[in-house]
Structure formats: C-alpha cells, structure tokens
Structure 1
Amino acid sequence: MRVWEGYYTYFMDISISPSHIPSPRPEWVIRFARIGLIAKGIVYCLVGALAFMAAFELGGQTEQGAGKTGVFQFILEQPYGQVLLAIVVAGMLCYTLWRLIQAIRDTEDKGKDAKGIGKRIGYAFSGLVYGALAFTAAQLLLGNGGGSNGTDSRQTLARELLAQPFGQWLLGAVAVGTMIMGLYQFYRAYSGKYMNKVQSEQLKPEVRTSLVRAGLVGYIARGIVWLIIGYLLLRAAIKANFREAGSSSQAFQFLEEASYGSYLLGVLALGLICYGVFMFVRAKCEVISTKG
C-alpha cells in the first residue's frame, strides 16, 4: 500500500510542478533554419561555379555576373527560372528569420555581456544581409531589375557614408570591421569551431572526412572574400571615392587582375563551392537550438 502511495505522491508532484512539464519545441524554427541553410548552400555553390567559369572564360561568364546578384539573374534565366528563384527567395527569408530569432530571443544562450551581445549583433547582421539579398532577388523576380539599377550595394553604402560628416572615418571603420569578419572566418576554420554544433556522426564514415574538410576550405575561402571586400572599402575610404568599393563580384575581378589571377580565382571558386556544400551538411546535421 505504501508503495502505491509513494507512486501517487510522485505523480502528483509532477502534475503540480510546471518545471516538470516539457514545453513544446517550436519545430517551425528548426524548419526555417534548415531550409535557410539549404538556400544559402545553393547560392554559394552557384556563386562558386560561376566564378570558376569566369576565371577560365567558360560559357562567356564574367566576374561581374558571378556575385550573388548575378546568381539570381542566372537562376531566372533557367527553365522554370521564376519558380526556382521564388524558392530561393523563400529559403533566404527563412534564413533571415532564423538569424533574427537567434539575435532577439537569444536561442543560443549567448547572454547579455559584451561578448554575448556582440554574437547576437552578428546574428542580426547576418539576417539583415540575407534579408536584403532576398529583397533584391524578389525585385528581380517581379521584373524590377533588382532595384539597384546596376549599382553595387556596397558602393551605395560607401556613397551614403562618405556623404556624412567624418564619412571617410565611418567608411574606414566599416572596412576594418569587414576585414575582422574575414579574419574571424579563418579563426573558425583553424580552431574547428565551425564544427561545434554539427553532429558529424550522422554522416557515413566514408564521406565524413571529406565533408569536414570541405567546411574548412569553405570558411577559408569565405574569409578571403571578406578580406578583399574590406580592402576595397578601405581603399574607397582613403580615396573618398565610393566607386572603389565593391562586393563579391568586384572581389573576384580584383583577384583576376593579380598575377596568375585566373588560377587564384579558380581555387577560390572551388573553396566557395565547398562552403556551399558544407551548408548542406549543416542543414542535415546541425543541432538547432530553439530555447529562449
């Protein structure tokens, strides 16, 4: 009898204690994250493929058309291009919302100290960047030419900053911040932090090593692109000329103009494809936190 009384007391304690009642997991956040990572992987794989084609003058491809905006135009020109581009836009919006949720709800438990706030600002910045890309792609989808009339977004940013008081200093600060982000990609690669939340044991052993290496190469390639973009912004700040700034397409062109530029751009392009492939790995194997 006492045994049954003990069980009864135990279950009654659970029933009246909210802490014992598991809250439902917001599965939609996980879906948004995985769909967003897939969309990001598609974009980077295409950027890398088009950059590789531009490096060796394949298919008439140029560096100007190898940036993210050029990728959207490339998708649109394919059979069922409008449908494909709409899917990519939806995926990037999912990625944007996931990043903003990470920043606002602190689902990664980064905290409110300086380091945690910095991480959360980074999540928000990433979300806003891909939100802007989704907006550009949506405008292209609706026949509005991407809304930029051929003007590079970073040139627009540089022009607006240079028009402000102390504009060269402001643009210089953005340039330095961009280069720091590039160096951080190297740090993530060499420290192995890019694998922190990826459960690689879900992968088959024969492909696990190759995909992990793809992530390493991909983050290095991405860091190089950020460093070049930061350098172009810094050059625009020093010369007070917004036309010196540029995004990934201008970074590819800058690399192409160097000695052995075609080979350097080709290697970088393969690295960006590796980064895109690793986004697919993240979509499948990453632990997505939904607490907050």
Structure 2
Amino acid sequence: MDRPQIMGILNVTPDSFSDGGDHVGPARGLAHARIMVDAGASLIDVGGESTRPGAVEVPPEAEIARTAPVIAAISNVLDVPISIDTRKAVVAKTALDEGAFLVNDVSGFTHDSELAPLCARRQVPICVMHAQGEPGTMQASPHYDNVLLDIYDFLAAQVSMLCELGIERNQILIDPGIGFGKTISHNLALLRRISLFHSLGCPILLGASRKGFIGRIGNAPVAADRAPGSVAIAIEAIAQGVQVVRVHDVAETRQALQIWQAVTMDEHYGA
C-alpha cells in the first residue's frame, strides 16, 4: 500500500453494465485476467452478481457457479491476488476455498450477517464499501445531510465493528461507493475530497470506472467509450493518496499512472 495499485475488474456475469457476458466461464475469465495482469493489474476482482442500478439479486448457487470455476482457473495459473466481489457469505467461502485472497463487499457488510464473521475466522483482507439502498432501487432518490460526513460516519462504524470481530485495521480497505445511491453531485463531492477518508486509518479503494456519471458528463453513452474519463478520475484519486483503483481499462490506467509518476516524482523506467 505504499504505492498505487491497479485492481482489474473481471465480471463473469451475463448482465454487467459494461462488459456483461464477455468473460463468462473459466477459459474466457482466465484469458482476460492474463491480459489485465500483463497490462499492469496487481489484483483481480471477480464478480458474479451485477450490482448496477436496477439489478436484481442473484441466487447464491448461480453466483458460485459463475465465480468459483474462474477463480480456480486463475489461481492455478497466475500468481496474482484474487478478490471476490460478493455480498454473500456462502459465495465468499467457496471463493476463498478456490484461491481468492480478499473479500470485497459492496454492501459494506450489511447484506449478510454471516459474511463479516467468516472473514474474521479466515483472517482475510476485506474491502468495506458504502451503498445507500439496494442495487434495484438505490438510484431512485439518494439523499444525504452531508454526503462526505454521512459516508465517513458509516465507514467508521463498519470499520469499528470489523475490528471488534478480530480483523486488523491494516487488513481493511474502505470504498466510498461511487455510483451506489449517489447523484452526480454526490459523486463529484466525494471525488473532490476523497482524501478525507485517509483519517480512518485504512487504505482507500476507488471504483469509479466507466460509471454512468462519467458518460453523462463526458458525453459517452456507451460504457466502453468511458476509458478517458475513468483514467482521469483514477489519476486524480491517486494524486490524493488513494492506494487502489478498481478499473476496467488496465493498460490505459497503467500508462497514465506511469506518466503521472514520471512528471510528479521523477520516477520513470527505460528512458
């Protein structure tokens, strides 16, 4: 965590907002993971349930069937830490058994009461994210008294709860949850002051890649066309000290990060 890390997104769902169906199955999942690792990803985040606005919950059996074979395939071939993106304890347990290293819960450990104790027993790193409401309804009318402080307070409470269960603070990442029950103004306020969350004493993970507000601001209705805006956000977050950026476009993000490091820190290689 002393250097920025790129987490590559591997959706193995048929209905993800950006690349639904493109990487379903062990062979295609492994192939895309290999591409992302070669491009500079130092973690791979595997998800089997779309949590885009309006999405419906996936039964755990289906989520396991999508994620477990892909995680097994990656862990058997590539030397890269794997994250399981799930809200469910049974899905996380299977993923950890197959070689996952980290549990990334978009509900902030509020959806399944068994998930946090499982992670504590297994002593695995976790990411706790803020979301207002469920994916199916979260964008209906999000409201905050103060978006920064409300989310800060939620994350502080969840980190405290997780530490009480026996998870070390340095094993907890926090994510303000861009796009999860937030308007464009909420998202921009969080990105403008994301450095605030460093005072929680945990590494920060940011997942804003290709999200809808980038398309609306940048006039890019097709998700795959939002790489430039996604990279701009990633570099701004890294400039504020964010340790992990979760992205679809690994090669583009890595190139931008290398140039930013060369300009700001005189760190450059092969030149």
Greater helix share, structure number: 1
Superposed pair shares fold, TM > 0.5: no
Greater strand share, structure number: 2
Structure having greater relative contact order (Cα 8 Å, sep ≥ 6): 1
TM-score with structure 1 setting the length: 0.27
TM-score with structure 2 setting the length: 0.29
In our comparison, the structure showing a higher alpha carbon Rg is: 1
